[in-house]
Structure 1
Amino acid sequence: MALLESHQGPWMCFGDFNYVLNESEAVGGKKGSPSTNYLKDLMFEVGAIDSGFSGGKYIWAKGKWGNAAIKRRLDREIANIAWRLEYLKATLSHLGAIGSDHTPIVLDTNPQAGFAHRPFRFEVACLRDDRCGSVIDSAWGEEHTGSDFIKLCKKQAATREALKKWN
């Protein structure tokens, strides 16, 4: 802690802190927190803020993943104001857990422009491929129920999805 207090420049620390900041970061298990929340105390003493995250809220689970598990947000990034001002675009992402009780976290200090959903567009170039016609025929030929309007919408959606998958 003396190191953080003595450092005047921007700093950041991320990883497993083994504490939640409040009850909303915990599901299952014992309710209530110990009388001393060391993470809150540390953050207050060194002037740190939690930088937030994207992805699933809980990054640690005891037991099976699902409704019966004990889940916590134990991994996080804390930083001083100088670091947050230096890295305005920085993001912390919680990824999916694979073979561990913790999910991986990724800190990106310079994320590229966010992914924007591209609407489906049918390209005339697709017609040059002989398989395109059979994909359209197959999808359009599926039986659907409902009014004529509903059937048309369902056929269009099925064709769009089939073309996306084929493409």
Structure 2
Amino acid sequence: MAEEKSGGPWLPPRWVIRTAWAVHRAMYRVSGGRFALQRAKPTKWGTMSVTVTGRRSGRERVVILAYLEDGPNLYTMAMNGWGEGEPDWWLNLQANPDAHVVLPGGAHREVRARAARPDEHDRLWALWRETSANLDEFAGRRTTPTTVIVLEPRPA
């Protein structure tokens, strides 16, 4: 069961978070991409499908991630369900930063991933904080910093 820090917001056990994301991916797969994706709004993050290449297997892996837009870029956080460590999809992107994104409505983008530079990290974190009131408290549960990932459009 997830440990609770006194005074922090409630966080479901890790198995609940993992199960919810597995159901989300299954809904996306079964519906052929028609369900499970939501457009980001100024006050609410959206969900997108990201296809990455496995760093060891070389196989394509599809993940559903929360995102926000920043001009032509998309950005997300390597939060691993607020568990410890980096999520596998981020480790895969570090090994091969090229990915394919599907946004709500079926828009496709070829992107290149990178960690946010120090000069943009705080700005993007603040924008995300506007959509998630407990962001700092959840991030504070981790012993490692939560990386902000920028997905930049790849040249055609």
Q: Is the strand fraction higher in 1 or 2?
A: 2
TM-score normalized with structure 1 length: 0.23
TM-score normalized with structure 2 length: 0.24
Higher RCO (CA 8 Å, separation ≥ 6 residues) = 2
- Structure possessing the higher radius of gyration over alpha carbons: 1
